[in-house]
Structure 1
């Protein structure tokens, strides 16, 4: 009985080990989902008083590892919020001044002074999300994000 259960579980997992186009994930190597073959760079975000956050919305693929930088220019204390987006991803690490932080979750980030932060994450839950400057209502003060 136990062997039948494990055999059925293995058969059920085989489709999960293939990409959407049916190609096997063998090229990912030992690091699996965190391998460089599964990594993409997103355009940086600049936090600057009165400036747009992004030129275009982000369209992400579930299961892909992404990295992006956020740069605060120090022109004002500015934050980014997007709790629904942060719950739809798995954050691998946040790097600030060469210090690596591996949080269990995130609600928002804030820059009191000029500086740079890099965030690495895996997109998980498909849906429509956003990151925005808290309290703002303008479309240029938010980034629309779709995870497919």
Structure 2
């Protein structure tokens, strides 16, 4: 009888199956992250092969590399509003912003943006003021 009561109490305390999907650290755990293609900022060269497909609820690390051939940036206000930015890393410095609308490189360097994809839809990142298809990458959040 005691064994049955103890088993019933433990079963009542057990977390639902959905609570275990992401691991003990929740959505920020390593088991909830996927790779994303790197974006390269270089005058006259494509940003990335696209479109890039992401899954809502997954963590991603966007690596952006600028080669210094020009003062280049990336904008994508719709995309940046459809994600939650966990951190931006520049030269080993971690920044935890409330949000982003664009980023810019004045010289060669690297930046990593770790984010959670949230709102499904079709978005883009592009070099501000550019009109060429290779200066824009489509991003789909499913």
2:80 is aligned, of 83, 86, 94, to 86
Q: Which residue of 2 aligns with 1:118?
A: 112
**How is 1:38-57 mapped onto 2 (pairs within 5 angstroms)?**
38-57=32-51
Hey, what's the Cα distance between the residues in 2 that align with 1:97 and 1:51? 24
**How is 1:1-148 mapped onto 2 (pairs within 5 angstroms)?**
24-148=18-142
Query: Stretches of 4+ moved more than 6 A in 1?
Result: none
Q: Which residue of 2 aligns with 1:8?
A: none
Unaligned runs of 5+ in 2: 1-14
Hey, what's the Cα distance between the residues in 1 that align with 2:62 and 2:127? 17
Unaligned runs of 5+ in 1: 1-13, 19-23
Compute the TM-score of the two structures, normalised by the length of structure 1: 0.82
CA shift, 1:61, in A, is 0.7
Residue 80 of structure 2: SS of its match in structure 1?
Answer: helix
Compute the TM-score of the two structures, normalised by the length of structure 2: 0.86
RMSD (Å) for aligned C-alpha atoms: 1.5
Hey, what's the Cα distance between the residues in 1 that align with 2:22 and 2:29? 5
Residue 28 of structure 1: SS of its match in structure 2?
Answer: coil
CA shift, 1:30, in A, is 2.0
CA shift, 1:54, in A, is 0.8
Hey, what's the Cα distance between the residues in 1 that align with 2:19 and 2:67? 40
